[in-house]
Amino acid sequence: CSSKYLVNSVSVGESSGCKYLQSQQVSGYLDNLKPAINDPSGVYKVSVPASQQTSAARSQQVGRSAASLPAEQPHAQQGTAGGRYPAKQRPATGRPNLEQEFARVPFEEASIMDSGGPSMAGEEDIDLYELLGIDKDASQDQIKKAYRKAALLHHPDKVPEERREESEAKFKAVSQAYEILKDEDKRHLYDTHGMAAFDPSRGGPGGPGGVEVDLNDILSQMFGMGMGGPGGPGAGPRRPRRGPDEDQPYKVTLEELYKGKTVKFSANKQVVCGTCKGSGAKANVKPAQCEKCRGAGMAEAFRQVGPGMVRKETVICDRCEGSGNFCKEKDRCKKCKGKRTTSETKVLEIYIPRGSQNGERIVLEGEADQFPDQTPGDIVFHLAEEPHDEFTRIGNDLSAELTVSLAEALGGFSRVVMTHLDGRGIHMERERGEILRPGDILKVAGEGMPQKRGEEKGDLYLIVNVEFPEDGWLKDDKEYDALNKLLPPPPPPITAEEVDEVEYEEVDSLDSMGANSGDPRFGGEWEDEDEDDGQPQCQPQ
């Protein structure tokens, strides 16, 4: 089986545990890792000056293409490094070092340590033609038919709840395969260079099997430096390895959260130019290093922060726009005009599982704008539940108002009392003699929101509202007497030595209560008697 070489961090003579994080990966030859492979102990050590800051969430993979994959596939992954080291951890004498150790572990065990996120390494092992069930010489019509068939087979809406997550992953893989194979330019890149051609962090396709790199390059990308230290061989501009995410609010109704929903929409995004592969230059023209920032992508500038005050800041270089390279106008790529990216319209699809909650995130991985030398970020949709006219949701439970007539409250009923979120009518029966009072709460088990995983549902709570008749609805004295005999008798009369007869009026609320107390805290806003003269109440001495 294959093997991985995992990097264990040793912090200035003190061991620290490693948390294996999977970040971006580059493909290349294995020749430069032979010192590690051929070492009888299976260990290869590299010393890094402690004065240098190392990233805690980087990993690199070195391997060949699937067609020439060797029996041994070494991986180099950096664990938690801790950044700069406090002075108390440095030895009294000598040069403090951070020692990185490449140790051989079984491939299966190493895989468990990975975060499980998508990686280009996994994509290299996938044959897109096989994924769609077509031959490599398939026509565009055959590709389209195969995609529609596979998309229908794996669509999340067409499978049971327990298979929905697996189906979502397969559906996304099929869609990504179709996006590549339906475009003749992308298809040609895939046929000649594999999935490495679509990873901007690799700079596009290289020689057979991937981009040829040496061990120094790998460590430089992992630790943010070259083996020669700052300013030495391998040093270069520090650019982010992953593009920014795009956050988008997405309004959803309670009905959509109850039933689930698939949404398709068109999005304009920036993609790495397919003509110049993100260099911004014409074919056979190598961009020159930017003279203003000297290839760093960042330059110093002065910004006015007040009258007669300026501040020196480090900003993105306005000449090369942060790329570190610059092309003369005559040498720029005709398609992207030297911008290195072009605009593309793409149809995206998101699936909102039933039972999703307000505020949950739906992530389209790698679908944000692309930038050269970076892995594209994600488009993150934040679900925003719109208020509902009838139902209120708390967790997986729902509440609603149940309005009944006075006759139903007293004599019972048997009818459909409401329409649920999925369009079903909810029928209830109340036995005669079971009195309903305003504010009573009826619980209907299993009629709340569906749980996101599984077939169970929350509960539905119905708050009783008794609808009383309008004034003067009963005019016939005989009917009134008959009703009075049917209803329970009034309470016994209250006796008092002195009795006053009063008049009254109906009010809508208790807001006016306390208005006649003379206390400004009640019955209106605070009024300052000295407010109008504009003079201070306390005179200066």
- Residue identified by tokens 């590690």 is 36
458 shares a domain with 350:
no
Give the residue from 440, 467, 494 where a domain finishes: 467
Are 78 and 54 in contact by the 8 Å Cβ rule? The answer is yes
87 shares a domain with 16:
yes
- Using CB atoms within 10 A of its CB, is residue 410 exposed (0-12), middle (13-18) or buried (19+)? middle
Is 513 a member of any domain? no
What is the arithmetic mean of pLDDT over 310-314? 78
Give the residue from 363, 387, 411 where a domain finishes: 387
Tell me the pLDDT band of 254, cut-offs 50, 70 and 90: very high
What is the arithmetic mean of pLDDT over 202-213? 37
- Residue 416: predicted pLDDT: 96
Range of the domain at 276: 247-287+327-387
Are 317 and 292 in contact by the 8 Å Cβ rule? The answer is yes
Q: What is the CA radius of gyration of the chain?
A: 36
254 shares a domain with 381:
yes
What is the arithmetic mean of pLDDT over 51-66? 33
What is the arithmetic mean of pLDDT over 108-132? 48
> And the tokens for 166?
């697996």
Tell me the pLDDT band of 62, cut-offs 50, 70 and 90: very low
Distance CA 262, CA 249 (A): 16
What is the arithmetic mean of pLDDT over 226-243? 47
Is 164 a member of any domain? no
Could you tell me which of 342, 11, 211 has the C-alpha nearest to residue 221? 211
403 shares a domain with 382:
no
- Residue 30: predicted pLDDT: 29
| The residue type at 57 | A
367 shares a domain with 396:
no
Q: At what angle are helices 184-193 and 164-181 packed, to 10 degrees?
A: 100
Are 348 and 268 in contact by the 8 Å Cβ rule? The answer is no
Check pLDDT > 90 for residue 408. yes
Q: What is the pLDDT of residues 11-41, one digit of tens each?
A: 223 223 332 222 222 222 223 333 333 333 3
- The least confident of 144-158, 327-341, 371-385, 516-530 is 516-530
Check pLDDT > 80 for residue 137. yes
Is 533 a member of any domain? no
DSSP string, 320-351: TTTSSEE--GGGB-TTTTTSSEEEEEEEEEEE
The residue ranking higher by pLDDT, 440 or 304, is: 440
Check pLDDT > 60 for residue 436. yes
Check pLDDT > 50 for residue 351. yes
432 shares a domain with 350:
no
Contacts of 81 (CB under 8 A, 6+ apart): 9, 11, 54, 55, 56, 98
- Residue 313: predicted pLDDT: 81
- Three-state secondary structure along 371-398? CCCCECCCEEEEEEECCCCCCEEECCEE
421 shares a domain with 375:
no
Neighbours of 353 (CB within 10 A): 18
Tell me the pLDDT band of 43, cut-offs 50, 70 and 90: very low
Distance CA 493, CA 490 (A): 8
Contacts of 405 (CB under 8 A, 6+ apart): 466, 467
Give the residue from 387, 421, 438 where a domain finishes: 387
- Residue 28: predicted pLDDT: 28
Is 212 a member of any domain? no
378 shares a domain with 261:
yes
First to last CA, the chain: 92
Is 211 a member of any domain? no
Check pLDDT > 60 for residue 244. yes
447 shares a domain with 364:
no
Tell me the pLDDT band of 84, cut-offs 50, 70 and 90: very low
379 shares a domain with 252:
yes
CATH of the domain at 351: 2.60.260.20
Per the structure, how many domains does the chain have? Answer: 3
Contacts of 282 (CB under 8 A, 6+ apart): 276, 331, 332, 333, 334
Tell me the pLDDT band of 446, cut-offs 50, 70 and 90: very high
Contacts of 443 (CB under 8 A, 6+ apart): 459, 460, 461, 462
403 shares a domain with 381:
no
> And the tokens for 288?
């020159």
Is 477 a member of any domain? no
Which residues on adjacent β-strands are paired with residue 102? 7, 44
Which residues on adjacent β-strands are paired with residue 401? 463
Could you tell me which of 375, 380, 378 has the C-alpha nearest to residue 23? 375
Tell me the pLDDT band of 294, cut-offs 50, 70 and 90: confident
458 shares a domain with 352:
no
Are 332 and 287 in contact by the 8 Å Cβ rule? The answer is no
Is 267 a member of any domain? yes
Q: What are phi and psi of 486, to 5 degrees?
A: -75, -35
Is 518 a member of any domain? no
Check pLDDT > 90 for residue 159. no
Q: What is the pLDDT of residues 464-500, one digit of tens each?
A: 999 999 888 888 888 888 888 888 888 898 999 999 9
Mean pLDDT, the chain, whole residue set: 70
Check pLDDT > 90 for residue 415. yes
Question: CA angle 114-120-125, nearest 5°?
Answer: 95
